[in-house]
A = this chain, B = another copy of it.
Amino acid sequence: MVSFESDYIAGAHPAILRRLTETNMESLPGYGTDRYCRSAAEKIRDACKCPEAEVEFLTGGTQTNSIVISAMLKDYQGVVAASTGHISVHEAGAIEYSGHKVLELPQKDGKICAPDLRRFIEEFHEDGNCEHMVFPGMVYISYPTEYGTIYSKKELTDLYEVCREFSLPLFIDGARLGYGLASRQSDMALSDVAKLCDVFYIGGTKVGALCGEAVVFTKGNRPEHFANYVKKRGGLLAKGRLIGIQFDMLFTDDLYFDISHHAIDMSEKLKDILHDAGVPFYLESPTNQQFVIIENKMLEKLKKHIAYSFWEKYDESHTVIRLATSWSTSEEDMILLKEAFALVNPKSIW
């Protein structure tokens, strides 16, 4: 059985585990003050071409979203996000736990757009009642989105212009940032991301690390006493080295980008295999997640051969499933995928 269930099915890139092993017995100070965290931060600043950036390491995505957002919002503010955004739907109310509302915007393929954002903010300020409402205080997007889609440089530039006009910080959730930047459709580099937002994070958990996300405050805007926010919310690791060493390795010799490109190559192959097999797409994304429609009886057979994620019911007799590639997807996995679809022969059914 081969798994396309998610991009976090394997451990870490072997180079990372090697590095953890090599450095294992070094005595290092705790709580992210060690030399590997400093070195990783320096390499990330270089990769972002943003020497003034402040870099902080956290453990996971939901933790990062809730700490960054609650640290940057004022009491009377909420965060604007797509109605399908991860913070809107899949974080068990972590933002609300911090006392703030998620202000939902309509989305298309997981993305929000500049005109909708502008309209929302303008209508808010026209409302005579706005002291009784939640003020928009920052904007959250994902790159790539929940549906694997990506913003073009033009789209992001337009969005960020609206943000700056209304003094709303823009926060980019980059849990899968590498896969977005490596996409063949992407017209952006990491330095563009750094330029076109106020804070973003570089996902490690889903792009080769055991755990860890690197938060980048790009405009000298890290909240004062940020470590205290992290500690208060239970996110401060005693052995900060665990994340520092991993990111130090990921940003050595372009490892982060190389493994991201590999996942995209695998995703392109996966799309070809599915097209050849005649599988209809629910959403064909330019990144590492693909959404296809499978007839239910076929799915019963398929699940003996491949692991996937249930996405949603399509209709009475069909289901949308998600197949994801990652840094750990192999050529052999592709062969097994092809064989699995040959066995179930979708063309015969659809």
> Could you list which residues of chain A lie within 8 angstroms of chain B, going by C-beta atoms?
1-3, 5-6, 8-12, 14, 17, 20-21, 23-31, 59-67, 70-71, 74-76, 78, 89-97, 99-102, 104, 126-129, 131-135, 205-206, 210-211, 224-225, 227-229, 231-239, 241-242, 307, 309-310, 312-313, 328
Contacts and interface: CB of A to CB of B under 8 A. Distances in A.
Nearest to A310: B128
A94 B232 contact: yes
B133 A206 contact: no
Given A93-B100, A132-B231, A211-B238, 18 more contacts: A5-B27, A5-B29, A8-B30, A11-B239, A12-B24, A14-B24, A17-B17, A17-B20, A20-B20, A20-B210, A27-B307, A63-B235, A64-B234, A76-B225, A76-B228, A91-B232, A92-B133, A101-B102
A100 B96 contact: yes
B90 A225 contact: no
B24 A92 contact: no
Contact of A231 (B91, B104, B127): B91
26 contacts: A5-B29, A8-B238, A9-B27, A10-B28, A11-B239, A11-B242, A21-B21, A27-B307, A65-B234, A70-B75, A71-B75, A76-B93, A76-B224, A76-B225, A78-B96, A89-B133, A92-B132, A92-B134, A93-B134, A94-B232, A96-B100, A101-B102, A126-B313, A210-B242, A233-B234, A234-B235
A307 B232 CA distance: 27
A312 to B, nearest CB: 8
Contacts of A328: 25
Contacts of A14: 24
Contact of A90 (B100, B132, B227, B239): B132
Given A96-B96, A135-B228, A313-B126, A234 B62 contact: yes
A28 B12 CA distance: 12
Contacts of A24: 10-12, 14, 17
B60 A238 contact: yes
Contacts of A12: 24
A14 B27 CA distance: 15
Contact of A228 (B31, B126, B131, B234): B131
A2 B26 CA distance: 10
